[in-house]
Every structure is written in C-alpha cells, then in structure tokens.
Amino acid sequence: MRALGLIALAACGSGSGSSPPSPGSGSASIVRVDATELIAKYECTRCHEVPKVAAAVRDKHCVACHRQILDGTFAAEPERLAKWRGRITSLTDVPSLAGADRLRRAWVRDFLLRPHDVRPELVAEMPRLALAPADAEKLAGHLVPEDRADPVDGDPAAGEQLFRNLGCARCHRFTGASVDDTAMHATGAKQPAPLDRAWQLAPDLRYARDRVQPAQLAAWIAAPRGLMPKLGVDDAQARDLAAFLARTPLAALPPRPPAKRLPVLDRAVTWDEVEAKVFRNVCWHCHAVPDFARGDGGPGNSGGFGFAPRGLDVSSYTGIAAGSLDDEGERRSIFAQLPDGTPRVVAHLLARHTEAAGGIVDGIRGMPLGLPPLPLEEIQLVETWIAQGRPR
C-alpha cells in the first residue's frame, strides 16, 4: 500500500498587503496572500499539517491512514491489515508546515513547479502537480507572508567547528560540504533511537542557503520548532552556524546518467506477473475503481490533488484494458504508441527517471507520482508484456 508522496508546500494567511521593496533594499516584503482555495484544490492537508486549516478526514488523510494501519488501530480485517503493513514504506512522517514561514518565497514557487528531493531519508517526495505558475506564485505568497533578504553576519569557520562539535551530521546530510557524513547516511544504516524519525525528516542542508531566508536561518537554529532539538547555542553562535551553512563551498553534484531503456525480454511475460510486480504493488493505490480502494479511486482514477479524473483502473485486466480519459474526457489506450514508438504507459514510467535526475519530459508526467522511479527491470517487464500482446 504505497501512496502518493505529497511533500507539498502551503500555509495560511489572509488580508491585503503592501508592494514589495525594490531589489537589494534589505527591507521586509510583506504581501499577505490568501490561497485557501488552492490549498483545498491541491488537497495539501491530505499529507500535511497546515496552520489554521482543518486536517483531511482519516480516509482522505494519507499519513493518518498509514499510521493507523501500522499501529493496528485501523478498522479492517487482521489479514488485510497484515498485508497492508508489509507494503507501507512511505508517508508515515511528513514535515509540518507550521514552520514554513521561514522559507524564501521564490524558492517555494520554483520548488512547487519543479520539485526535487530535499529530504534524502524519506521514500516519498513532493510530486510534480498540475500547477500553473500563477497558482505556485499565490501559494508561495500564502506560505511566506514576509520575505527578508537580511544577510547573515556570522563567522563561517566558527560555525563549521560548532557543526562538528554538535554532531549535526547525525541527522542532516550536507551534500557537497566537507562535513557531510555519507557513511552515517548510507542506505540501510540505522540511527540510534529516538533520532531515527528526526533523521527521516531532516533536510539536506545543501539546499538551506536557497530554501531559507538568511535571518530566519539563524533564528531557527537559535530557537527551532518541531522535531529539531534545541542546540543550546546563543544568538552569536546561531549566526556562525547560519553563516557556515550559507557560505561554505559546496562541490558540484555529479551528473546523473540518463535511464537506459532495457530491451524487451525473450521470455514470456503474463498479466499475473506484471500485476503482482508492478500494477498491484505500486500503481493501484492511485489508479483503481473506488469500490476496490475503499471508496477512493485515487488521483489517477477519481481525481484529486488538483488532477482531473482520468478513470484509469489498474486493479484488473479488464480495467487496465479500458484505458484512461484524455483532456477532453474521451477514452484512450495507455498502451498506444506515442510518436517515438514508446507505449504511453512506458513513457510515463521512464519520465519519472528523468524527473528524479532534475529534468522534465514535456507533456508527460512521471509515474509513480511522488515516489522513486520504478527499477528499469520492472519497466522492462511492462514493455515486454505490451510487446507480446498483453497476454493474460
């Protein structure tokens, strides 16, 4: 039971505002924007705590649903609960948006339009929603009512020593910095309790200089909220740490090689195999008829998270053969070839690899939405099955 990783950004505020200052003025930009209708449209509360906005009901709340399944309080047959527990790998913890007002407005806008992974220990990440630039701008203004450009005036060298002494790398990656502890964060490594949950939610500090307003970065270090522990530093030390995060040299990220599409297999591949390994394992939770998915067909079937209903049902051979709805509401095959000869469903699965590497495929949204790309071997199974005429 893997679900959408809506690591979205939104918050609450209303009222009229003043014009932003001229660039470089250093004064505050206070433009209070009410994007409540967009928070509802994109269903941010299905994953996140949003200040002053009611949480989604349990059956529409991805995180609450997963937590109840894992702790055994979800009302379902024991056999079904046991099966679901074995499939839940994401959306048990997501960041609260209660402290999101410290972010830079422009970063939030750009991130919503082109999300990337900022929390490497979380399985799910912010999905690429069907956001218009104007919607992203409005949500960013709603989230960040005050955007300051005050510089950080601390001592980076002193901040680096504090970073090491305080053991910040026990929770945070700092990719590209000399203090990054890749061994601590190696895949499969375990944090000592109770740091494991904090480790999951701790963002990669590589992005702190772009994500967080400079003055807010120091203020957060001095008086953090949420799971971030109090470090016992004074204001001057907080500024030193902030200066280190903002100014230390970072090595360039190595280019991510493009996904290499595998050739179709020589052996026979049946519906039972692709259903078990791909469609039922990952896709059905967002693409199924409502009756199959306990009343919610997911954003890829009934619609949701700002997406129009697509009517795609992968919970059965008959359902997947019926295809999906296009933008005009007409049925189309998900197996039909695109102009380059790639079956439509395969193109969506491959596009997720491109998105994970920082790119976007025009006209194609990568799948699975908000989750890691499928292994190329699983995409190969799907393409082989299609090439063989989709045998049952």
CA-only gyration radius of the chain, Å = 22
Q: Which of 215, 247, 235 is nearest to 28 (CA)?
A: 215
- Rounded to the nearest 10°, the torsion over CA 39, 45, 49, 50 is 20
pLDDT of residue 233: 96
Structure tokens at 213: 């307003």
User: What's the pTM?
Assistant: 0.84
| Pairing, β 331-332 against β 324-325 | antiparallel
- Are 129 and 44 contained in the same domain? yes
> What is the spatial distance between Cα 348 and Cα 358, in angstroms, rounded to a whole number?
15
pLDDT of residue 17: 32
Q: Does any domain span residue 2? A: no
Q: For the chain, how many structural domains are there in total? A: 3
Burial bucket for residue 390 (CB in 10 Å: 0-12, 13-18, 19+): middle
Provide the domain limits for residue 202. 156-247
Q: Does any domain span residue 129? A: yes
- Are 70 and 160 contained in the same domain? no
10-residue averages of pLDDT along the chain (392 residues): 35 31 42 86 90 83 87 84 81 79 93 91 87 95 87 93 94 93 63 67 93 92 87 96 96 88 97 95 86 72 92 95 95 97 97 92 93 96 98 96
pLDDT of residue 284: 86
Residue 174 sits in a domain of what CATH number? 1.10.760.10
Evaluate whether 150 touches 26 at the Cβ level (below 8 Å). Answer: yes
pLDDT of residue 81: 84
> What is the spatial distance between Cα 176 and Cα 164, in angstroms, rounded to a whole number?
16
Q: Domain boundary at 147, 178, 202, which?
A: 147
Q: Does any domain span residue 18? A: no
pLDDT of residue 37: 94
Q: Which of 2, 43, 203 is nearest to 129 (CA)?
A: 43
Q: Does any domain span residue 8? A: no
- Are 172 and 132 contained in the same domain? no
State residue 307 phi and psi, 5-degree precision.
Answer: -90, 140
Structure tokens at 346: 């395969």
Burial bucket for residue 24 (CB in 10 Å: 0-12, 13-18, 19+): exposed
